[in-house]
Each structure stands twice: as C-alpha cells, then as structure tokens.
Structure 1
C-alpha cells in the first residue's frame, strides 16, 4: 500500500440501481459537487463505519466537526452493535446498528431500515468486504471512499469519489479528509462523547479520590499485547516513585483475566483490579478521573483521547505515527522500526504505510526501561509529585 500513488480522477457514474422508493439498493450516480462556502449544506449524510472501537472513537471527531459545520444536517451512522455502546448517546445522531454475527439476517434487517431512504452523501469509511456489501443498501448520489492506496476488497467499486492520497497520514486525519471532501469548514478536533453521571459516580467510588494510574493491558489482537512482567514493573514503579494508585482495567474475556492475574502475581504493589467490571462508559469515566493510561494499540488507548487523558502507548506490532493515540504520540514507546527490521527485514520507511508486524515476539521489543522513561517524562511534563527532577 503506497500512499504516494497518484489519485485517479473520479471516473463518472457506475451503473445505477433502481431509483424506486422500494429499492433500498445503492445508487451509483455521478458524484455531486461538494458544498462550497455560502452554498446550501447537505440535508443528510450517512456514515458507514462499523468497527473497531478505536476507529469509532476517531469517527466521533468527524461527527462533531460535521455537526459544527452544518448543525441542521441529519447525520446517520451505520455502526457495529458493540461499538454503538460508546456513542449511542451522542446528540442529534441517528444510529443504525449492525451485529456482524447476524450474517445475512442482519443484512436483511438493514435493508428494511434503509429501504425508501436517500442521503445526500455517503461517507464509506471502512475498507472491508462486509462494509462494501452494506454500502450497497445506502442510496446516495455522492459516495466518498478511500484513495486507491488505502483501498482493498474492491472498495473502489462502491464509491464515486475518493479522498486524496497522502503519505504518512494518521487514521484520525484520514477520517477528517472525508469532511474536507464534503466541504465542511475546518474546526478544532473535538472527541466529546457523553459520560453518564452514574458511570462517573461508579468510577469515583472505585478510585476513592486517590490519584490513579490505569493499565489496560490487552488489545483484541493478542499479538499486539505486551507481557505481564512489564506491566508489573510499571505498576511497581508508578506506586513506589509517584505514590499513585495503580488500576487494572479491561473486559471479561479469558485472555484479559489471565493477563490480569499474571500481573497481580508479579507485582510487589497491589493494584486495584477492575478487569471484567468496567463497561465502555465506565472505562471512559475511569479515564476522565485518572492521571494517565498505559496500553497497547487498543480501543481504550483511543478512548482516552475523548477525555484528554495522556496515554503511554506500547507499539511494535503497529506504527504509532499511523495509529497511536492521537494526542499522546509524544508519549508512545515506538519499537515499530525495530520490529520491521527483525521480522520483515525492512525498515519502517520501506514497508507500506499501515503494515502490521503482528508476529510472536514483536511486542517483546518494547522494553520496560523505555516505558519507564516515557512515564517519567510525562510525570515531569505534568508536574506529578516525585516527577520534578526528571
């Protein structure tokens, strides 16, 4: 995937589907021009991004920008059922959920929900075969998708305008390119998402008013995960040097429980164990009440952006310049180039943008010393007690 490839101009119209109100199928027409300053804004926009949790977090900033630019435009977001839990209470957004486990039955339900509807624009922000199939249920004359370098699974057949190709672009900025293509006014990035007061109360009760440091040790991709010894070393360092309460958090999966138990077994301090007890909204609440988070490339690492909580991201399997926590890239431990050299025999500059190094042993290239260095630098920058002399 070479992001330096030249972007081809739109090739005109694709064969149009039936325009009857009962069709519910995609309409591949010649793309309309994006609204310009002073022109009438779109009356309706459909966003198609099903998953994953981190990418949906990036979508929050896109939605907030569109709402700020065009407050009267109806926004509809087709989203995964699990990911919907993060954003379901965002104001003035219609959500249509899809459970990927539902298969063809779920597609039929989507067809019924979208039948007879037409949108001014579709933002097709997911390059997967499933998303491409779902996009055919959305009728819109303007269908914006990715440039050829970032397309796969025949993505280009389902769009009629592409965002510009750009080398070395973070995923957040790629999402913002969809708003640019529509002509939305530039705005400061805003990841605001509601946190219910009941979840904030729960987080305050768990933390007990003590300065807290979160460890979310697991990604849904096992080969992006670090090791229990390293996390235990972090917990001991933060508790001993900064006097902070260390909190383990995560979902109820067997992988997360096993990792949590291994960390607890190796700690000399005693972290608060909330693994399996936090929901998505509770995780947001914990983040909002904590000093920092350590995590691999995972949903919680990006959710922390919503609460402006600093993240020490652990990266070797993925490139933090592309998918690191957007507001905390300076705090990331970056062993990605080393992983590329060891497992792919190429440098990070030589591999295609977005290449993953999800290989056994890749995350072991992240050293405890490097993580502690980033924690101490963060402590100094944020004035934590004990961090003055870093």
Structure 2
C-alpha cells in the first residue's frame, strides 16, 4: 500500500554520503520530482556531497557537517526548526544518520526493512520499505519512491553543470580523438587496482589512438597513486588528479567517451551521465554496488575472492558479504581489462576516431 494518493507538500531526504550512493539517490529523487513537481524536497547531506547536489534543481540542500562532532546535530536541527515534513526518507542506515532523524519532524519516517537495515535503523523509523528482489543499492532506494506512490521509478538522471565547468573540461579533451578518463584511485586504498595493470591498459588504449586523462580527488593517496602511474607510463597522459572541482569532474566524465575506475564515486557519476564505464571490483559484489547501467562491463574477481576467503559459494552467503583480503584487487588480470576495453569500445562504436 502506498502512502500518498496525491502529491505531498514536503519531503525530507536523508542521505549524507557517499558520492556514489548520492548519485544513485538522485535518480530516485528525480523520479519523485517528475511525478510530483509541486512537492518541496529538502535534502540533508554531507559537505562534499552538497557540491554534487548543485547539479540538480528544485531541491533545498542542508549540509550536515560531521567535522563538528556532536554539534553537527544541534546545528542541523536548528536549520530544520520550523520544518515539518509529510515524510522523511531515511535512506542511509548508518547510526549517525539515524541520530540525525531524532530532530527531524515528519509524519512518516521511512527506512529499510529488516532485510536491508543495519545499525538499529528500524528503531528510528515507523514505515519499513519492502526490499525488492534485486540486491542492487539503487533498487533498494527506488523502493522508497514506490512506497510513497511513485508509479515510474525507472532510473534517469538529469545533472547539470555550468558552462565554465564545460570550458574547463574542453581544455583537456581532444577533438578528433576518442578520450579515455582513468580514475586510478578510490578513497580506500584497498579498492585500488595495480599501477602496472593500469599502465598496460592505458598504453593499449594509446596505441589505438586514444587521448588519456587521469582524474580524481585532491586526497593525498589519489595524487600519489596518479604520480606513480604517470612515472611508470611510456607515453604522456594528462594528469588532472586533484585539479578539478566536483562539477568540473562531472563535466569531464560527461563529455569523455569512456571511463575506467574502481569502486568509487566517479564510477557512478559517469553512469549518471550515461558515459560507458568499466568498473574494477573485488571487495563488493558489483551486482549490488556496480555502475547500474554498465554492470555487464564490470571486471570483477569478487566471486572468486569471496569463495576463496570463505570456502562458500555466493548462494550460501549474505548478499552484502565483503571480501576482506586487502590484496584482492591484485587478482584482476590485465588481459581481462584489455579484453573488456575492446568489447565496450566495439559495443558503443568507439573503435574509430571522432569526426
């Protein structure tokens, strides 16, 4: 049974992090906006994620600054003073998110059901959203919209950026050539693939006439990995790691032809911009966390790694089981990534230069 027969006056979305999950959530919120454009939507999110939300319209964004410690909650609740929502979409089961709900006034507080919830989230909600059969994170989030009364939750994204962001990207993208953006690093080092592996794939692409760009955040581990990769390569690449804003990166990922990245935010940003992406996975099941539209192009050793670690098959394990071996990404074979590069370039007709 759905909660609303007609558009509610106001909704609050609580999704604090991370970039990839926020990208998935955006598709859900935009499906709500599509059916109920008159509904006022307030989104509580983190500082970095708020930069990405500048790419969508019609939403009030309120920042939860976790660096403030416990004061982050009182600051948030002061900002929401006077707000009373028809429904709160508690779309992140982390305990810090659940604590934030204590100061958010809403008639309905929707959260994951016992299949998907963790960290006692069910204690902070009065509506349990039924889990779909699909394990993917986005499908679990889509169920919130269905519970509200949204008829079509087919994932679609409409993210915008400024002309100045596009101008920045165009400074580095080459016309007349195919452009490949490689995001070498994730926020957690154990999710990163190997420098020699990246180097061989990049050199393979370069031999096919591609322009190669490295991209990523200004985090020290990402800058250092990109520098090591650049020093290893026998060809020149454009290293933009740490040199872009989030929306400049969004423009770059939108206008490039192809992206290669591990399980990290830009993987899902590319997915949201309909840019083909090869995701590199070992620690999480890509059927749960992979780039939604391009899961068939993921190169994954997750199944092999989890079976080796647990001596159990996927069917015997929880759908959210994680590989703990910090060296699991090293099991991804370079030849498999090159093969996938050739397959995706063929499937998307990227084998010839641009006109």
Q: TM-score range by the shorter chain?
A: over 0.9
Alignment of 1:227-246 (within 5 A): 227-240=194-207, 242-246=208-212
Q: Deviations over 1:221-274 (max 9, x none)?
A: 22111111111011101001x200111111122211221122112212211111
1:104 to 70, 78, 82: 70
The reply on whether 1:306 has 2:245 as its aligned counterpart is no
CA distance in 2, matches of 1:91, 1:175: 20
**SS where residue 193 of structure 1 aligns?**
coil
1:146 to 89, 92, 112: 112
Alignment of 1:317-328 (within 5 A): 317-328=283-294
Alignment of 1:241-252 (within 5 A): 242-252=208-218
1:34 corresponding residue in structure 2: 3
2:166 to 194, 200, 206: 200
The reply on whether 1:218 has 2:193 as its aligned counterpart is no
1:188 CA drift (Å): 3.6
Q: Deviations over 1:134-183 (max 9, x none)?
A: 01111112111001021111100111111113344211111110000001
1:103 CA drift (Å): 1.1
The reply on whether 1:70 has 2:70 as its aligned counterpart is no
The reply on whether 1:183 has 2:152 as its aligned counterpart is no
What is the TM-score with the length of structure 1 in the denominator? 0.87
CA contact (8 A) 1:336 1:348 kept: no
Q: Which has the larger radius of gyration?
A: 1
What is the TM-score with the length of structure 2 in the denominator? 0.96
Alignment of 1:250-289 (within 5 A): 250-289=216-255
CA contact (8 A) 1:292 1:311 kept: yes
For structure 2, the 5+ residue unaligned runs are: none
Q: Deviations over 1:332-388 (max 9, x none)?
A: 01211011012222222222112221422111111111111111001111222369x
CA distance in 2, matches of 1:378, 1:153: 39
Alignment of 1:42-191 (within 5 A): 42-191=8-157
Q: CA separation of 1:62/1:166 partners in 2, compared to 1, >3 Å: closer, same or farther?
A: closer
Two-structure CA RMSD over aligned residues (Å) = 1.5
**SS where residue 322 of structure 2 aligns?**
coil
Q: CA separation of 1:33/1:273 partners in 2, compared to 1, >3 Å: closer, same or farther?
A: closer
Provide runs of 4+ in structure 1 moved above 4 Å. Answer: none
CA distance in 1, matches of 2:31, 2:153: 6
**SS where residue 317 of structure 2 aligns?**
coil
**SS where residue 120 of structure 1 aligns?**
strand
2:296 corresponding residue in structure 1: 330
1:198 CA drift (Å): 0.3
1:88 CA drift (Å): 2.2
